[in-house]
Amino acid sequence: MAGQMFCYIAGNEQEGHFSLINEACSMFAHTNPLHLDVFQSVVRFEAEVVAMTASLLGSNEKASGGQICGNMTSGGTESILLAVKTSRDYMKVKKGITSPEMIIPVSAHSAYDKAAHYFKIKLWRVPVDQDFRADVKAVKRHINRNTILIVGSAPGFPHGIIDPIEELGELASTYKICLHVDLCLGGFVLPFARKLGYPVPPFDFSVQGVTSISVDVHKYGLAPKGTSVVLYRDHEIRKHQFVAVTEWTGGLYISPTIAGSRPGGLIAGAWAAMMSLGLEGYLENTRKIMEASKRIEKGVRQIPELFIIGRPDMTIVAFGSDIVDIFEVNDVMSSKGWHLNALQRPNSIHICVTLQHVAVTEDFLKDLQDSVQTVKANPGPINGGLAPIYGAAGKMPDRAMVQDLLVDFMDSSC
């Protein structure tokens, strides 16, 4: 049942929208923006997607300096990788840092671990506070002469909570280091939620100190999968994203992103999605999913065996339990056709509400209540599912075991 899958897809009411972007993708499937002079239309599509995204995130604010620029990427991970790489190289030029370090809260996306591994950057993960927001004091304690970058999320993927971006911006400005804001999930919701009157704290380039932002168009932007945007406050920072090879026998080679050749069809699809929906379309979508999210949050709070983690700011609601094993609840929900995300530290699960869930919120809450009661009446480990992988409530998963399970799964799929 499509309406039961809590992930980043849209529902049947969007079939016309997806037909349009599929057509756009197919029309430009042969194009490659690596060749700027040949595929000029796709290059323009990318520039317009970047400009439209920037316009949502403070490009018109005086505080931004009005020079916001960027590129499209294959997804949030590549956007984050590029922002980290760019910050590393920018800070090497600006401050002479050759042993770079970055500081992120434990709630930040695992893409930063990948970036640290790829780009040889020492990574510090610091705790979140009691509200599951980045602990600014903990971040400050870790800043030293090698710090190139600190990170905030708006919101964080696990719990849907916005970090204190203004306070992080003050730190970045004071110590003259970079601040990246992960808006991969919230970039096409928070600007519209703010217009609708929801209490959204500052999160974009209007905050002094923010040097880069990542935004996924393929999530709430409803663009084809494989489309994201990385933005920078100005061209002086972004130029460090580029790689230029001038001595190659094959000629001059310049690439703005990790990929060389890129699928122009996806860029065209993203452009078509944004042009089709427009500001009013995104505003109406946000109204629906925010209302559905608040209904679900209220419903979960009414189940006495469960508790909400923090105060959700957007469309993710994370919850756990001190009474039942939440992973067993997740397994029962899976048997009913619901596909939720398992979290840890603390053990919990979350739902990410999208358009197709608007009509099934009451079904979800009823199944959740029934699942909790099933586990409460029949406690104990379940064969299969997530509970054995994550272990008993409060116990962390064993990395080697998870790796072996993943390898076995992939081998069985071959």
Contact 154, 162 (CB under 8 A): yes
203 and 339 together in one domain: no
283 and 267 together in one domain: no
Q: Please report the beta strands in 119-242, taking only residues with DSSP state E, as ranges in sequence order.
A: 122-126, 147-153, 178-182, 212-216, 228-232
Count structural domains, the chain.
2
The answer on pLDDT for 353 being more than 90 is: yes
The answer on pLDDT for 107 being more than 90 is: yes
240 and 339 together in one domain: no
Return the SS3 of 340: coil
Better-scored residue on pLDDT, 315 or 392: 315
208 and 297 together in one domain: no
% of the chain exceeding 90 in pLDDT: 82
Better-scored residue on pLDDT, 150 or 404: 150
Last residue of a domain, one of 225, 248, 276: 276
Q: What is the DSSP letter of 358?
A: G
24 and 123 together in one domain: yes
63 and 202 together in one domain: yes
Give the Å distances, CA to CA, from 357 to 28, 217, 350, 352: 32, 19, 14, 9
Give residue 342's domain range.
278-413
Distance of alpha carbon 59 from alpha carbon 342, whole angstroms? 36
339 and 192 together in one domain: no
Domain at 364, CATH number? 3.90.1150.10
pLDDT in tens, 190-225: 999 999 999 999 999 999 999 999 999 999 999 999
Structure tokens at 92: 């090497």
The answer on pLDDT for 16 being more than 90 is: no
State residue 296's pLDDT score.
Answer: 98
Q: Identify whether 191 is preceded by a cis peptide bond (ω within 30 of 0).
A: no
Would residue 150 count as lying in a domain? yes
Contact 303, 174 (CB under 8 A): no
State residue 395's pLDDT score.
Answer: 52
State residue 20's pLDDT score.
Answer: 92
| Range in 27-41, 42-56, 116-130, 175-189 the model is least confident about | 27-41
Contact 173, 209 (CB under 8 A): yes
Would residue 348 count as lying in a domain? yes
Last residue of a domain, one of 249, 276, 303: 276
The answer on pLDDT for 181 being more than 90 is: yes
290 and 244 together in one domain: no
Residue with tokens 């397994």: 331
* Angle, helix 40-56 to helix 264-301, in steps of 10 degrees: 30
Return the SS3 of 181: strand
The DSSP bridge pattern shows strands 243-245 and 253-255 to be antiparallel
The answer on pLDDT for 162 being more than 70 is: yes
Domain at 71, CATH number? 3.40.640.10
Would residue 6 count as lying in a domain? no
256 and 320 together in one domain: no
Would residue 50 count as lying in a domain? yes
Of 326, 370, 376, 375, give the one whose Cα is nearest residue 351.
Answer: 326
Structure tokens at 252: 């001059």
290 and 394 together in one domain: yes
Indicate the average pLDDT of the chain: 90
Distance of alpha carbon 146 from alpha carbon 177, whole angstroms? 10
Contact 182, 210 (CB under 8 A): no
pLDDT in tens, 293-349: 999 999 999 999 999 999 999 999 999 999 999 999 999 999 999 999 999 999 999
| Range in 105-119, 228-242, 249-263 the model is least confident about | 249-263
Contact 295, 353 (CB under 8 A): no
Which residues, including other chains, have CB under 8 Å from residue 249's CB and lie 6 or more apart? none
Last residue of a domain, one of 241, 276, 311: 276
261 and 351 together in one domain: no
Return the SS3 of 221: coil
Distance of alpha carbon 343 from alpha carbon 360, whole angstroms? 23
Would residue 4 count as lying in a domain? no
Would residue 3 count as lying in a domain? no
Q: Tell me what the mean pLDDT of segment 126-130 comes to.
A: 96
If pLDDT is split at 50, 70 and 90, which confidence band does 410 have?
low
The answer on pLDDT for 411 being more than 70 is: no
Contact 229, 282 (CB under 8 A): no
Structure tokens at 232: 């920078």
pLDDT in tens, 36-85: 889 999 999 999 999 999 999 986 665 555 689 999 999 999 999 999 99
Return the SS3 of 408: helix
Would residue 63 count as lying in a domain? yes
Would residue 231 count as lying in a domain? yes
270 and 286 together in one domain: no
